[in-house]
């Protein structure tokens, strides 16, 4: 039995009465620079990241709630590479902006943490240099 | 007059900067007084990257007006520097620039491409956050073009006793002039026909004809060995009764395993130095000890 609609309704009712926290759904990426390589792929809904070695892309990352209660942009989003020798993530001074860098060819994943809570690990593929 | 003043200024800049390069490992900013535009806005628009020359063989820090722009193609093996300045004066400070990945090595403030391809350079703040970035293209030196009067030549013709200073430009496979300070190693195959009177390193070799004959001027840049035909006088060897063959141009002779050549440098780079000072480097067909009649003959180059 799918309890998600029930949870959503329950949460909405609870929100009206007491307030309710958003529930993790996914991470939405927006590309902020024009990568000089056509082989860059940053899936908008955070399902996959692919970029060539030594290329950098700049993204903003926004968590999407799955229960109808939106994140209020005060959450701290952290992206942590599981293997920085393959893929590195740098922060930007602007909130929720990051720079992805392909270091050496290989695969790894980048962990998404919202307010310190690990939510998922997005698969990353770093391809050989173009 | 303006040209001479510019060349003198450049000469002074080189003299002041060279000890800094050698002693402190620092580079001088490119000479923007000569119209060089060393700054380029970062891809995120948060500041500007300044290209810096490390060493004195970078063609982008010469007084060549055709290279008066920010380079984006840099020779594999060439050394260079980058400096970042944020737009916001309130954020002034030191922003280290780091390359993305091992394709570029770094020693102090100098970078060096280890292989071909695009590489991002990140400007970081004190927290390690990326303020801005810029991609550069590393490219292998495909050939070394030799210029006289800013025009590429395929063969060097000289009279005995005359000398000529040439300028070398590293080119990639697309024909683009590559930035970065490279190590050149010049030699003359037959030192009895012609000799190097400049130091065998650097980008501006000076060759002097000694006697009638033909030989090869050779340059080694990294793994690339390139040869240029040199003809002194008629090109006929007085000890060889046979007519000399028309020398072949060796434009595409990269990687040629030429005969082991003796570098016949006299260690005297005065001529090259002077010619770069007076801005007449490639036309310095100066006779050394020749009589006035011989002095009137100038080095000729097939173009």
| CATH code for the domain of B82 | 2.60.40.1380
Residue of A nearest to B113 (CA): A54
* pLDDT the model gives residue A23: 86
CB contact under 8 A, B118 and A55: yes
Scanning every residue of chain A, which has its alpha carbon at the shortest distance from the alpha carbon of B119?
A54
Cα B284 from Cα B271, distance rounded (Å): 8
Closest residue, chain A, to B45 (C-alpha): A33
Which comes out higher in pLDDT, residue A59 or B273?
A: A59
Residue that terminates a domain, selected from B124, B139, B154 = B139
**B156/B187 same-domain check:** yes
Q: Is A54 on the interface with B (CB under 8 A)?
A: yes
Q: What are the tens digits of pLDDT across the range B30-70?
A: 444 444 567 889 999 999 999 888 888 998 887 666 666 78
CB contact under 8 A, B125 and A93: yes
**B182 pLDDT exceeds 50?**
yes
3-state class (DSSP) for residue A115: coil
Specify whether B171 is located in the same domain as B226.
yes
Residue B8 has pLDDT above 90, yes or no: no
Strands A49-52 and A41-42: antiparallel
Same domain, yes or no: B96 and B164: no
Give how far B198 is from chain A: nearest CA, Å. 40
pLDDT (0 to 100) of residue B219: 94
> For residues B33-51, b (16+ Cβ closer than 10 Å) or e, as one string?
ebebebbbebbbebbbbbb
Task: Give contacts of B115 with chain A, Cβ < 8 Å.
Answer: 129
A93 to chain B, minimum CA–CA distance in Å? 6
Both B98 and B199 in a single domain? no
Pairing of strands A97-102, A87-91: antiparallel
Q: Are residues B120 and B150 in the same domain?
A: no
Domains and CATH numbers, chain A: 21-127 (2.60.40.1080)
| Chain B residues interacting with chain A (CB cutoff of 8 angstroms) | 43-44, 99-104, 115-120, 122, 124-125, 127-131, 133, 135
Question: Domains in chain B: how many in total?
Answer: 2
Can you give the three-state secondary structure of chain B, one letter per residue? CHHHHHHHHHHHHHHHHHHHHHHHCCCEECCHHHCCCCEEECCCCCEEEEEEECCCCCHHHCCCHHHCCCCCEEEECCEEEEEEEECCHHHCCCCCEEECCCCEEEECCEEEECCCEEEEEEEECCCCCEEEEEEEEEECCCEEEEEECCEEECEEEECCCCEEECEEEEECCCCCECECECCEEEEECCCCCEEECCCCCCCCCEEEECCCEEEEEEEEECCEEEEEEEEECCCCCCCCCCCCCCCCCCCCCCCCCCCCCECCCCCCCHHHHHHHHCCCHHHCCCCCCCCHHHHCCCCEEEC
The answer on pLDDT for A11 being more than 60 is no
Q: Give the whole-angstrom CA distance, residue A40 versus residue A58.
A: 11
Query: Token digits for B135?
Result: 């991609």
| Same domain, yes or no: B161 and B214 | yes
- Mean pLDDT within B262-269: 34
Chain A residues with CB under 8 Å of B117 CB are 53-54, 129-130
Q: Is the pLDDT of residue B269 over 80?
A: no
Residue A16, SS3 per DSSP: helix
Are residues B31 and B77 both part of a single domain?
yes
Contact A58 B120 (CB under 8 A): no
Question: What ipTM does the predicted assembly reach?
Answer: 0.83
Q: What's the whole-model pTM score? A: 0.72
State whether A56 and B103 contact (CB < 8 Å).
Answer: no
User: Which chain B residue has its CA at the smallest distance from A99's CA?
Assistant: B130
Residue B292 has pLDDT above 70, yes or no: no
Whether A34 sits inside 8 A of B135 (CB atoms) is: no
Q: Give me the domain span that covers residue B86.
A: 2-139
Note whether B293 and B155 are same-domain residues.
yes
Contacts of A130 in chain B (CB under 8 A): 117-118
Looking at the fold, whether B134 and B18 belong to one and the same domain comes out as yes
Instruction: Among B114, B139, B164, identify where a domain stops.
Output: B139
**Sheet-wide strand order for A106-114:** A41-42, A49-52, A117-127, A106-114, A77-81
From B139, B163, B195, the end of a domain falls on B139
Q: Are residues B121 and B165 in the same domain?
A: no
Does one domain contain both B211 and B76? no
A with B: how many residue pairs have Cβ under 8 Å apart?
A: 72
CATH number at residue B152: 2.60.40.1080
Return residues 69-98 of A near B (CB < 8 Å): 88, 90-93
Of B100, B118, B129, the CB nearest to A103: B100
CB A56 to CB B122 under 8 A? yes
Mark yes or no for CB contact B44/A32 under 8 Å: yes
| pLDDT greater than 60 at residue B287 | no
What share of chain B in percent tops pLDDT 70? 63
> Which of A22-31, B111-120, B288-297 has the highest average model confidence (pLDDT)?
B111-120
Chain centre to alpha carbon of residue B85: 28
């Amino acid at each position: 039995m799918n309890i998600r609609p029930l949870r959503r309704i329950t949460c909405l009712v609870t929100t009206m009465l007491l307030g309710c926290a958003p529930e993790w759904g996914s991470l939405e990426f927006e590309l902020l620079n024009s990568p000089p390589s056509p082989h860059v792929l940053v899936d908008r809904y955070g399902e996959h990241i692919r970029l060539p070695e030594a290329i950098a892309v700049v993204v903003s990352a926004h968590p999407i709630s799955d229960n109808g209660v939106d994140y209020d942009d005060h959450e701290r989003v952290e992206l942590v590479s599981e293997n920085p020798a393959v893929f590195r993530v740098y922060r930007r001074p602007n909130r929720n902006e990051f720079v992805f860098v392909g270091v050496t060819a290989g695969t790894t994943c980048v962990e998404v943490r919202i307010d310190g809570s690990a939510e998922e690990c997005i698969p990353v593929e770093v391809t050989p240099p173009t | 007059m303006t040209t001479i003043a510019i060349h003198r200024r450049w000469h002074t800049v080189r003299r002041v900067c060279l000890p800094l390069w050698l002693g402190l490992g620092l580079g001088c900013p490119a000479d923007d007084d000569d119209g060089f535009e060393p700054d380029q806005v970062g891809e995120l628009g948060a500041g500007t990257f300044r290209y810096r020359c490390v060493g004195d063989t970078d063609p982008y820090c010469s007084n060549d007006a055709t290279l008066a722009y920010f380079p984006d193609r840099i020779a594999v093996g060439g050394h260079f520097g980058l400096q970042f300045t944020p737009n916001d004066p309130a954020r002034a400070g030191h922003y280290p620039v780091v390359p993305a990945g091992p394709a570029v090595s770094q020693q102090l403030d100098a970078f060096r491409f280890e292989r071909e391809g695009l590489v991002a350079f990140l400007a970081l703040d004190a927290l390690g956050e990326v303020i801005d970035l810029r991609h550069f293209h590393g490219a292998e030196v495909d050939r070394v073009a030799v210029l006289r009067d800013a025009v590429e030549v395929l063969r060097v013709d000289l009279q005995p006793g005359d000398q000529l200073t040439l300028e070398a430009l590293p080119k990639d496979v697309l024909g683009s002039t590559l930035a970065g300070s490279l190590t050149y190693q010049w030699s003359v195959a037959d030192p009895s026909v012609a000799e190097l009177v400049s130091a065998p390193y650097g980008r501006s070799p000076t060759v002097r004809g000694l006697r009638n004959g033909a030989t090869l001027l050779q340059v080694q840049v990294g793994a690339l060995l390139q040869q240029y035909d040199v003809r002194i006088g008629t090109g006929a060897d007085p000890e060889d009764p046979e007519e000399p063959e028309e020398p072949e141009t060796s434009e595409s002779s990269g990687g040629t395993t030429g005969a082991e050549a003796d570098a016949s440098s006299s260690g005297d780079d005065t001529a090259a130095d002077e010619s770069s000072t007076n801005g007449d480097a490639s036309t310095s067909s100066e006779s050394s000890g020749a009589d006035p009649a011989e002095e009137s003959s100038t080095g000729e180059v097939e173009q």
